[in-house]
Structure 1
Amino acid sequence: MKATLRRARPADVDQIRELVREATRGRLDPSPDEVFERMAERGMLLALDPERRPVGLVSWRVENLVARILDFLVHPVALRPTVGRQLIEAVEEEARRLECEACVIYVSPEMSSAALAFYIGLGYTRWPEESLSEPWREAAHEFDAFGRVALIKQIRSERVTRPI
């Protein structure tokens, strides 16, 4: 299925909350204020099915030429190969437009092998610490305290060595 992607809007808060609750089987139940705050502090895209219901979302923030993918959710999970790919590629396109060098996605070390294969298939991997520039290293360690692992994809062939 090819989804329709669009920026999340304040009017989407309740639908986003429902998507999160369904996808996590109720483990996460964000308040309207929490969803609105996330929308306000980062870019957020929704993926809509043909009936205009949300089936995925992604949020990101850009800093120091690195796009950080902070939220990524596709439900049902069977849509990950299509809808998930659309969402990640949309963030990468926005990151390229903003002259970013890399995209980083933060994942649980206990993620499924299918999820890891999905990210690897999109070009994300763990980079050796010594090969990371300072901004990449900072981004890679940003969520260490939360038990997250950074997978990185270089999206700009040449690294920026002076201001653009």
Structure 2
Amino acid sequence: MMSSWPDKYVIGLTGNIATGKSVVRKMLEHLGVYGIDADALAHRAIMKGAPGYQATIDAFGRWILGDDDQIDRSKLGKIVFTADVAIENSGTFEETWNQVSKAWKSIPKVAVDAPPTEKSAAPPSPKQLTVKRATPNQAGQIAVFITEQSSGKRRMTRTDVMEAFGEKAFLLLLAGSDLVGILGWQVENLITRVDDVILKENVLSAQNIKLLVETIEKASSELQSEAALLFLPPVIAKLEKVWSSLGYQSLAVEDLSVRAWQNAAEESILPGMTLFFKRLREHRILRPMV
């Protein structure tokens, strides 16, 4: 428990490479934890212009630099990860989620002072659209929705979605209790990526897209994200006026002005998708924030 915030806990995850630390961190985030990826921050700290750049070159030599004078992490990896290590990695995402959920429930709940009483907002009408963050418990529902909306072209199982939860989060667009849209997203290395936007045709409107996007941008701001990359299918990408009104522009990957953004886009974009970009922070974060 933290001394400065008596109702908060710090949960530290450590372990060898490829043992599932990132998966567990993502699962904790689905339960409401604010995640900090120290590995991603370390990568940012050794970028050109950041405080760890020259120190890393001094330690290993200029041979670790790529053609763009950035540190080539694959070259560093040949030094760091050459030891033969046997890692047991045969568990399932379902088993991991059950372990994380059990551990989460075991954390003592701390009583906090109730906030001042305010006039309650009117409850949403039965079919009013709302956005809710999904948990892995809803993996089956998400799998059915994706399969149905793709007319079977993209068949998903509960297991497939459970695995996806190890990499990203899902927002659910609900009409009452009915699922009418999903958005899959993640923030890694201070970059927001949205690679699943699926809406039923009867809710495909500027108002509903704005509702989802504003939810993503608010969460991204809390995570200090500096840019948003949206990878959209044709049926949603064609609504260019909607995206423009929200501050997004359609770009080719090579037109992104920052190499880290290009790398993220190259990793995520699929054939047939259109990239939409929006800068969320005026200045990039290369040094610790104080």
Q: 1:55 to 1:136 in 2, by over 3 A?
A: same
Q: CA RMSD in A?
A: 2.5
Partner of 2:163: 37
Partner of 1:89: 214
Alignment of 1:134-149 (within 5 A): 134-144=259-269, 146=271, 148-149=273-274
Partner of 1:159: 284
Task: Give identity over the alignment, percent.
Answer: 27
Runs of 4+ in 1 over 6 A off after TM superposition: none
Partner of 2:179: 54
Question: Following the alignment from structure 2 to structure 1, what is the Cα–Cα distance between the partners of residues 269 and 179?
Answer: 30
How far residue 105 of structure 1 moved from its aligned partner, in angstroms, is 0.6
Q: 1:25 to 1:121 in 2, by over 3 A?
A: farther
Partner of 1:69: 194
Question: Following the alignment from structure 1 to structure 2, what is the Cα–Cα distance between the partners of residues 80 and 120?
Answer: 14
Select the structure that is richer in strand.
1
Deviation track 1:104-135 (CA, whole Å, cap 9, x = no partner) reads: 01134x55664333322322113574661222
Q: TM-score, normalised by structure 1?
A: 0.82
Max Rg structure: 2
Structure scoring higher RCO (CA < 8 A, sep ≥ 6) equals 1
How far residue 149 of structure 1 moved from its aligned partner, in angstroms, is 3.6
SS at match of 2:151: coil
SS at match of 1:41: coil
Partner of 1:13: 139
Question: Following the alignment from structure 1 to structure 2, what is the Cα–Cα distance between the partners of residues 161 and 61?
Answer: 20
SS at match of 1:142: helix
Deviation track 1:16-43 (CA, whole Å, cap 9, x = no partner) reads: 1232133222222201111111123212
SS at match of 2:166: helix
Deviation track 1:59-80 (CA, whole Å, cap 9, x = no partner) reads: 1121221111121111135433
Amino acid at match of 1:90: T
How far residue 9 of structure 1 moved from its aligned partner, in angstroms, is 2.0
* Corresponding position: 1:27 with 2:153: yes
Q: 1:22 to 1:77 in 2, by over 3 A?
A: farther
Aligned length: 162
Deviation track 1:78-114 (CA, whole Å, cap 9, x = no partner) reads: 4332222211221111111111111001134x55664
**Structure 1 residues not aligned, in runs of 5+:** none
Q: TM-score, normalised by structure 2?
A: 0.50
